[in-house]
């Protein structure tokens, strides 16, 4: 049983505060969705959890299984079980998906231990079958010349192979047409289970009809302002974010 605990987190880029006191707990087996209008700090939150060097944490903490990750480099956090599915995954020219994942799996082995190549490929092909990904896919260079849908499938495949404890999915639905969205969502649903906690960040409700969350949070101006179950997402769909803003404005300061 794992947990990702975000406690009163404050984050700035330069002098500008972006995240202003955000708290949230994700346990294994749970799928949480964070929704909110653009510019409210959702993607910043994703990158900070993963350890992007451009952001400064000015207060609060992020804990994986009770241990603060803030002093850890991005790669240490990854090896500890944190995975970020990127909104805009980078291209790595000349490095095949199979070789990239092999290096990532190798990086998780104890020093001096070599990866068992045949066992690795067996596992890779099993995951590809599970996600209905063509065998030829993994000989292509990582994300190079990929369509939006292919990039996101590549992220899901990496997630399947690296078997994280906690996955943060940043705008996984962005840039996808309805068919691609269905395929990617089926992939995520196939990976759902008691060993994985998911934090999904999305602008639109439509993703949540494919990946049904256990909890929905609304983020606004660097904070979570409302939490509920999946019905909250539907309410947002019909009433829009203005409804949340008005509700906030009505509260006594």
Partner 1 sequence: MKSLIDSGTAATVENPVAGIDQTKGDFTYDVAYEFDAGTGLSARTVDYISSVKKEADWIRAFRHQALQVFQSKPMPTHWATRDLENIDFDRIRYYLASGQKPKRTWDEVPEDIKRTFERLGIPEQERKFLAGVEAQFDSEAAYSNIKEIVAKQGVIFVNSTEGLREHPELFRRWFGKVIPTGDNKFSALNSAVFSGGSFIYVPPGVKVAQPLQAYFRINAENFGQFERTLIIADEGSEVTYMEGCTAPKFSTATLHSAVVELVALKGAKIQYITVQNWANNVFNLVTKRGLAHEEAEIKWIDCNIGSRLTMKYPGVVLKGRKARGEVISIALANDGQHQDTGAKMIHAADETTSNVVSKSISVGQGRATYRGQVHIPKRLRGCKNNTECDALLINTNSRTDTYPAITVRGERNSVQHEASVSKVSEDMIFYMQQRGLTEGQAMSLAVNGFINDLARQFPMEYSVELKRLIDLEMEGSVG
For partner 1, which is the closer residue by CB, 144 or 237? 144
Calpha distance 72→80 (Å, rounded): 10
Residue 3 DSSP class: E
Largest Cα span, the chain: 63
Compute the least distance from the CB of residue 164 to partner 1, in Å: 10
Calpha distance 65→50 (Å, rounded): 15
CA distances from 78 to 157, 182, 239 (A): 16, 27, 38
Among 20, 79, 123, 192, binds partner 1 (CB under 8 A): 79
Q: Does 108 bind partner 1 (CB under 8 A)?
A: yes
**Residue window 57-76: x/- pattern of binding to partner 1, with contact defined by CB under 8 A:** ----------------xxx-
For partner 1, which is the closer residue by CB, 100 or 204? 100
For partner 1, which is the closer residue by CB, 74 or 248? 74
Q: Does 52 bind partner 1 (CB under 8 A)?
A: yes
Among 13, 23, 91, 135, binds partner 1 (CB under 8 A): 91
For partner 1, which is the closer residue by CB, 114 or 242? 114
CA distances from 194 to 30, 121, 127, 178, 242 (A): 8, 25, 18, 28, 35
Residue 204 DSSP class: -
Residue 171 DSSP class: S
Q: Does 252 bind partner 1 (CB under 8 A)?
A: no
Calpha distance 184→88 (Å, rounded): 15
Range in contact with partner 1 (rule: CB under 8 A) among 13-21, 99-107, 179-187, 203-211? 99-107
- CB 183, CB 147: distance < 8 Å: no
Among 5, 63, 98, 104, binds partner 1 (CB under 8 A): 104
- Which residues sit at the interface with partner 1, rule CB under 8 A? 50-53, 73-75, 78-79, 83-84, 86, 89-95, 100-101, 103-104, 107-108, 141, 158, 162
């Amino acid at each position: 049983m794992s947990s990702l605990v975000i406690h009163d987190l404050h984050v700035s880029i330069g002098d500008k505060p972006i995240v202003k006191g955000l708290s949230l707990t994700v346990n294994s087996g749970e799928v949480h969705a964070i929704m909110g209008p653009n510019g409210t700090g959702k993607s910043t939150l994703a990158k900070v959890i993963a350890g992007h060097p451009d952001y400064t944490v000015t207060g609060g903490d992020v804990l994986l299984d009770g241990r603060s990750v803030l002093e850890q480099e991005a790669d240490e956090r990854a090896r500890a079980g944190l995975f970020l599915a990127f909104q805009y995954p980078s291209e790595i020219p000349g490095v095949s998906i199979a070789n990239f994942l092999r290096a990532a799996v190798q990086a998780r082995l104890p020093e001096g231990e070599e990866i068992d190549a045949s066992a690795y490929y067996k596992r890779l092909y099993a995951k590809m079958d599970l996600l209905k990904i063509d065998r030829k896919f993994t000989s292509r260079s990582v994300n190079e010349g990929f369509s939006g849908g292919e990039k996101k499938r590549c992220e899901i495949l990496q997630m399947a192979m690296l078997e994280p404890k906690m996955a943060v999915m940043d705008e996984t639905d962005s840039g996808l047409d309805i068919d691609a969205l269905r395929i990617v969502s089926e992939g995520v649903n196939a990976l759902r289970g008691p060993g994985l906690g998911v934090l999904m960040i999305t602008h639109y409700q439509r993703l949540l009809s494919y990946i049904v969350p256990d909890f929905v949070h609304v983020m606004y101006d660097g904070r979570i302002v409302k939490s509920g179950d999946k019905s909250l997402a539907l309410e947002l769909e019909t009433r829009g974010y203005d409804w949340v803003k008005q509700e906030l404005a009505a509260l006594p300061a």
